Amino acid sequence: MFVLVNLKAYPCDAERVARAAATVADDTGARIAVAPQAAHLESVAATGVETWAQHVSGAGHGSHTGSTLAAAVADAGATGTLLNHSEKRLRLADVDAGLRAAEDTGLETVVCANNPRQIAAAATLGPDMVAVEPPELIGSGTPVSRADPDVVREAVAAADEVNPPVPVLCGAGISTGADVEAAADLGTEGVLLASGVAKADDPESVLRDLVSEV
Ligand SMILES: O=C[C@H](O)COP(=O)(O)O
């Protein structure tokens, strides 16, 4: 199971979380990645942890003020990027352009979606992975794998119908190893989580628990 930790804009110490994730990944062999804010990509990547961007623009170099370019995040050490997170929604054309920019730069991609219908649309665009996250459960502390297992099962089926090689992650309220195990039982290949780690007093112990059951 892939554990992708999105630090969002939480006021946590990104390097501390990254060091904890690198340590747990090394100790356990689990795949754990950390997605900090763009300004922290370089310092997070310097810890040796797998580093992801939270977003990239579809734009290339040029007159695009405020854009986060795929080439720039790759230069900073990112090896993957989220696209279309629930808190960073994009138009379809922008998801597609972001995917192409990420591909051209060699970044791995996860396209997020609210529900199984959007998962089908996202999977059709050919990302490396998709992630289903019911917005009402994000940050709730109630795991989607328990609160709404059907949405996860249906998302896995939807992705499988349109683009069978695309693995599905699930997110929203995931914070324990039992939640990750439940997500695996529902057919997902990873979890996307944030507050459970970013708000934790001891991120390392949370990360150890997250990877303990798989
Ligand atoms: O990107 C992460 C998700 O939005 C889940 O957030 P959460 O773990 O705080 O519910």
Q: List, for residues 24-33, the tens digit of each pLDDT value.
A: 999 999 999 9
Catalytic hit among 40, 50, 55, 85: 85
For ligand 1, atom 2: residue with the closest CA: 193
pLDDT one-digit tens code per residue, 45-54: 999 999 999 9
Confidence label for 111 from pLDDT (cuts 50, 70 and 90): very high
Q: Residue 214: pLDDT above 90?
A: no
181 is catalytic: no
Residues with CB under 6 A from ligand 1: 6, 85-86, 133, 138-139, 171-174, 192-196
Instruction: Supply the pTM of this predicted model.
Output: 0.97
Give me the pLDDT at residue 27, please: 97
- The per-residue pLDDT for 164 is 87
Average pLDDT over residues 138-143: 94
Q: Strand pairing of 129-132 and 50-53?
A: unpaired
Q: What is the CATH number of the domain that holds 189?
A: 3.20.20.70
Round to whole Å and give the CA distance between 41 and 32. Answer: 15
Cβ-in-10-Å burial (0-12, 13-18, 19+) of 78 comes to buried
Which residues 6+ apart lie within 8 Å of 5 measured at CB?
17, 21, 32, 33, 34, 35, 193, 194, 197, 198, 207
54 C-alpha vs ligand 1 centroid, how far in Å?
12
Q: What is the mean pLDDT of the chain?
A: 97
Q: What is the pLDDT of residue 165?
A: 84
Mean pLDDT within 65-86: 97
CA–CA distance, 27 with 44 (Å, rounded to integer): 18
Domain count across the chain = 1
What percent of the chain clears pLDDT 90, i.e. is strictly above it? 97
Pocket test for ligand 1, best of 7, 174, 180 (most atoms within 8 A of CB): 174
Ranges assigned E (strand) in the chain:
2-6, 31-35, 50-53, 80-83, 108-113, 129-132, 168-171, 190-193
Domain that holds residue 152: 2-210
Nearest CA to ligand 1 atom 4: 138
> Residue range 90-103: average pLDDT?
97
What is the best residue among 5, 6, 81, 191 to mutate for testing ligand 1's pocket, by most ligand atoms within 8 Å of CB? 6
Counting residues of the chain whose pLDDT is more than 70, the rounded percentage is: 100
The number of CA neighbours under 13 Å toward the Cβ of 100 is: 8
Q: Which atom of ligand 1 lies at the shortest distance from residue 193's CA?
A: 8
pLDDT digits over 145-202, tens only? 989 999 999 999 999 999 888 999 999 999 999 999 999 999 999 999 999 999 999 9
CA dihedral 28, 31, 32, 33 (to 10 degrees): 150
Complex prediction ipTM: 0.99
Q: Catalytic pick from 40, 50, 55, 133? A: 133
Q: Does residue 214 or residue 37 have the better pLDDT?
A: 37
pLDDT of residue 213: 87
Per-residue pLDDT averaged across 88-103, rounded? 97
Residue 62: pLDDT over 90: yes
Cα of 168 from ligand 1 centre, angstroms? 15
Ligand 1 atom, smallest distance to 141 CA: 10
173 annotated to bind ligand: yes
161 part of the active site? no
